[in-house]
Structure 1
Amino acid sequence: MRSVAIDIGNTGTKYGIFEGDALVKQAYFDGQEQLPQELLNQTFDHAIVASVAGDPQSIKSRLSVSGSVIELSAQTALPVFNNYKTPQTLGVDRIAGVAGANYFFPHRNCLVFDAGTCITHDFIDSSGVYHGGGIAPGLQMKFNALHTFTKRLPLVQRKDFDSPLTGQTTEESILSGVLTGTVAELNGFIHAYSEKAADLVVILCGGDAGFFESKLKGRIFVIPELVLFGLHRILAHNV
């Protein structure tokens, strides 16, 4: 089976082409208007599209698919149990992420951090039950907010791998507050979940995963394609 999984995010669109369960091609493009020729020049057996940035119809309508085209929503059947109180408000990227975590680490307690425009954390237990998580501003959003909602703070956009603990200039203080502070935030979540869930697996994905990889405590698995694999698993569950 040749299938495609498309993840439309706040800042761009990722896609993955699968042959059976193997991811054979993945790429990223801006917006939704200019679909890569890689997607336009072939026919897929099945497709799944997930969007947190509006109606994905413009992409769906241009795909050539001989079988099913699934738009991930709260009504889509899942390979995990969703215990979220308001599934209709749950970001489709979040449920795809935990479906991916459960695929890579079945029968394990998993904490997933997706460090992108926002930083989300999501917990799925060893029985495949998704319990929810949290949403916070991402690094760039924090930098932008400090500049936008104050009179004098500059816009800082550096994501130094050695951000200071104690800032001695205004820029260093912003780096400490945003970068060092966010690392402490994520480490705090890891500690809290480790106390409630034995043998916790911590997984990182998202555009800023590289910044956090060496800074978080314990063993961290970085899986950039996590959401794409989760989407593929959801697709396989429905066809």
Structure 2
Amino acid sequence: MKNNPMNQTCILDFGNTCVKWARFVHGEFDCVQQDDEAWEALQEWDENARWLIAASGPMEDHWSTWVEKLKAKQPGSVVHLESAEDIPFPASYHSMQTLGLDRIANAAGAAAEDEHADWLIIDAGTCITADLLEGGEFCGGSIAPGIDLRLRAMFAGTASLPYPEDWREQASEGIGLDVGDDTITSLLAGAVGGAQAEITERIRRFRHEIPSIRVALTGGDAKFLQLQADLTTFADPNLTWKGYFHLLNRMLTHE
């Protein structure tokens, strides 16, 4: 028996580095799949749902064809989002047309947690973003290279520094948060430890300016950071997805 379409919400995110598909059931986050796994799962998809297509990155031809077929099959239940300008969310950001959809989704996710609070939202992914939500309004923030980008930049920009392919395995063991005693661990100390130091200082600066600010941490590489417990309000690897879910609700309400 198929689910009631109002009981399922699907989000398909075309990012800069990969394609991800997430599903909510009865308003609760259920699962997420990426790239080939997402594609294979959706080939068998035959259920009604509300859909948000978040296309901040390029869409390959096979995905574009699939999305168009979905729109034809489920007219009225698919929202195709390509620019943050189309999102009904208060913002004072001056270039909404180039704002990453994930950044505004993170803000929506934090606002859903506590709409009356001021938030610093840190997303440690391909890039590390730190965005301010003040008085319910998205104000902007900072974009810096993520851990992997830092390591790849040092490899590409020098003649002798290697790229540690297994850096995530090493970082999961805490390597990179102390002084490096060889080239690989020194690279990790600069990339992982450097990212942690940067984030820690940014939180402290915002706390100095806005003492009551709450801090949300998300992103695939957040698990490699060991921030002091008193620095963050909560960590949620699915904050972006939850934000997309709430943005879809906003957009459907404003139609």
Higher helix share: 2
Higher strand share: 1
Q: Which residue of 2 aligns with 1:47?
A: 51
1:28 matched to 2:37 = no
For 1:105 and 1:184, the matched residues in 2 are separated by 27
Which amino acid is 1:60 matched to?
V
Q: Which residue of 1 aligns with 2:87?
A: 77
For 2:37 and 2:25, the matched residues in 1 are separated by 24
Give the alignment's Cα RMSD to 1 decimal.
2.3
Give 2:213's match in structure 1, choosing from 200, 220, 229. 200
Residues 175 and 17 of structure 1, relative CA distance in 2, 3 Å threshold: closer
Contact 1:13 1:32 in 2 (8 A): no
Which amino acid is 2:145 matched to?
P
1:170 matched to 2:183 = yes
1:108 matched to 2:117 = yes
Q: Which residue of 1 aligns with 2:147?
A: 139
Relative contact order, CA 8 A, sep 6+: which one is greater? 1
For 1:33 and 1:50, the matched residues in 2 are separated by 15
Contact 1:74 1:87 in 2 (8 A): yes
Q: Mean Cα displacement is larger for which, 156-165 or 88-97?
A: 156-165
Give 5+ residue unaligned stretches, structure 1: none
CA offsets 1:38-90 (integer angstroms, 9 cap, x no match): 8722121x211113321473452243535332222233232x31111110010
1:53 match: secondary structure: coil
1:60 matched to 2:79 = no
For 1:20 and 1:115, the matched residues in 2 are separated by 28
For 1:62 and 1:123, the matched residues in 2 are separated by 38
Give TM-score, length-normalised by structure 2: 0.83
Which amino acid is 1:67 matched to?
G
Give 5+ residue unaligned stretches, structure 2: 1-5
- 4+ runs deviating over 6 angstroms: none
For 1:119 and 1:19, the matched residues in 2 are separated by 29
For 1:5 and 1:164, the matched residues in 2 are separated by 35
Q: Percent identity of the aligned residues?
A: 30
Task: Name the count of aligned residue pairs.
Answer: 234
Shift of 1:165: 3.6
2:84 match: secondary structure: coil
Contact 2:84 2:100 in 1 (8 A): no
CA offsets 1:162-217 (integer angstroms, 9 cap, x no match): 425433322222122111111110001101111122322211111111112x3346
